[in-house]
Structure 1
């Protein structure tokens, strides 16, 4: 009986590790550089703004995960189209962000809701006019709720399952475009809303079922995403090594290494400037 239970546990553990080859968690901070609004539909209360923003149950402004997903997918699509053909780009995006059809992949990335930091945000109402496009006259006046520039949203941006470090690094192209002022978040972009700055605070790689000794010898993780033949980029493997220095796909970074009981594995923690250094090194190999 005891042997049977042990074998069953081994099979379950093996199944988990086959499903989770690499787990990634990326945390950061979004700071608004202009008014920004992510709308919650039309206001229904008498004293409510005509167009309120999304808030959580405590009344704090939030950036929904769905908004972040659409933001990163849409802007990465535009960037990739500058270099690759349409079919290859769409296949790659479907692998990373999930496809619309039933037979396509679910998303390898889960984007999380970011809430405004306490005492580091300001909500305001701004008045706008709607123009009658036929007559060119003012149609009506309406109030728009927004968070003002300087507001900060922080927390876990995303978690990913089996996404290669090079695949994750593609998101850095969107962050760079955003910080340069080329990509905006939310609505009313043509009215000057949505300029933001994205700062990456912490990146965690978890290697389930692995230990520090294996990491010293060097690990190659295969079968990662993206890996389909139609994708414009195949980035389906990763190399990890930590022998006093930490190397991820031949890019050296400063990182902390410790074993984690959550997934019976080893965790690599990278912070702030080292994240950008890693992503820039990986992108040089990709492009």
Structure 2
């Protein structure tokens, strides 16, 4: 059950980012396709006859949420209050038992007077309500002959946590030095607080500052040196409601 908050829109913020791969990157398919495929293929699209890697927005969102959550969790309540005027990061578990109308009421009350809903859920969404923050897929920006390679690693027996004899796993990965572009789209909702920044607005703006120039990990095989990337903000566009009605881009 996902609750949609149909509050009025105050503004929409569209922030463009680039991702630079600093190490090999593996954002994988669920399974190999075809006899000649690698054991662990990556997500790809076909464009002009070439296979190009793509990073799903859901993968970017998950990695960013984990990174941001880890850092915010280390801050004191006093610092969280100073940054966001809100100190609760995680939603109470018993919210699952409430009706959809009750959850909506709890969310609105939480914005006005810090309540049961955590700031991270208010920003990124949860199993109970849709996110005001949308992450697009990241598409390759380089024009190259080759974007991916196949690498071999020893296979680990998960039951024994030991190396399997005479067994290799073939991992497909995007090369270091590639550039991807994606956007984060934030819908600022009117929670009846007037023209002041809500805690969610503050959290989003802080998130953008947090991400600009940050090195972090994406995808799988991190323990084997995969996934280190650098993010860089390229553009930040704020659209008021009248801009959206007028068709501004």
TM-score by length of 1: 0.60
Quick check: 1:110 aligned with 2:92?
Answer: no
Quick check: 1:152 aligned with 2:188?
Answer: no
Alignment match of 2:21 (pick from 12, 32, 46): 32
d(CA) in 1 for partners of 2:172, 2:202? 38
Pair 1:137–1:39, CA change in 2 (3 A)? closer
| Pairwise CA RMSD | 2.7
Counterpart of 2:66 in structure 1 is 74
SS at match of 2:217: coil
Q: How many residues get paired? A: 193
d(CA) in 2 for partners of 1:67, 1:135? 27
Unaligned ranges ≥5, structure 1: 1-16, 210-259, 268-287
Counterpart of 2:94 in structure 1 is none
Quick check: 1:162 aligned with 2:180?
Answer: no
d(CA) in 1 for partners of 2:163, 2:52? 37
Per-residue CA distance 1:102-133 (angstroms, 9 max, x = gap): xxx31011110111124256211000111336
Counterpart of 1:93 in structure 2 is 120
4+ residue segments displaced more than 4 Å: none
Deviation at 1:150?
0.2
Deviation at 1:46?
1.0
Alignment match of 1:208 (pick from 208, 219, 241): 241
d(CA) in 2 for partners of 1:57, 1:169? 35
Counterpart of 1:213 in structure 2 is none
d(CA) in 2 for partners of 1:128, 1:80? 35
Counterpart of 1:270 in structure 2 is none
d(CA) in 1 for partners of 2:54, 2:161? 38
d(CA) in 1 for partners of 2:247, 2:161? 66
Counterpart of 1:22 in structure 2 is 11
SS at match of 1:60: strand
Asked if 2 retains the 8 angstrom alpha-carbon contact of 1:26 and 1:158, the reply is: yes
TM-score by length of 2: 0.69
Asked if 2 retains the 8 angstrom alpha-carbon contact of 1:98 and 1:107, the reply is: yes
Deviation at 1:18?
6.4
Alignment of 1:45-60 (within 5 A): 45-58=34-47, 59-60=51-52
Alignment of 1:168-183 (within 5 A): 168-172=204-208, 174-175=210-211, 178-179=214-215, 183=216
SS at match of 1:62: strand
d(CA) in 2 for partners of 1:114, 1:174? 19
Alignment match of 2:222 (pick from 189, 196, 199): 189
d(CA) in 2 for partners of 1:177, 1:207? 27
Pair 1:137–1:106, CA change in 2 (3 A)? closer
Quick check: 1:124 aligned with 2:149?
Answer: yes
Per-residue CA distance 1:198-219 (angstroms, 9 max, x = gap): 111100001113xxxxxxxxxx
Counterpart of 2:105 in structure 1 is none
Unaligned ranges ≥5, structure 2: 1-5, 78-86, 91-117, 190-196
d(CA) in 1 for partners of 2:41, 2:72? 34
Pair 1:191–1:265, CA change in 2 (3 A)? same
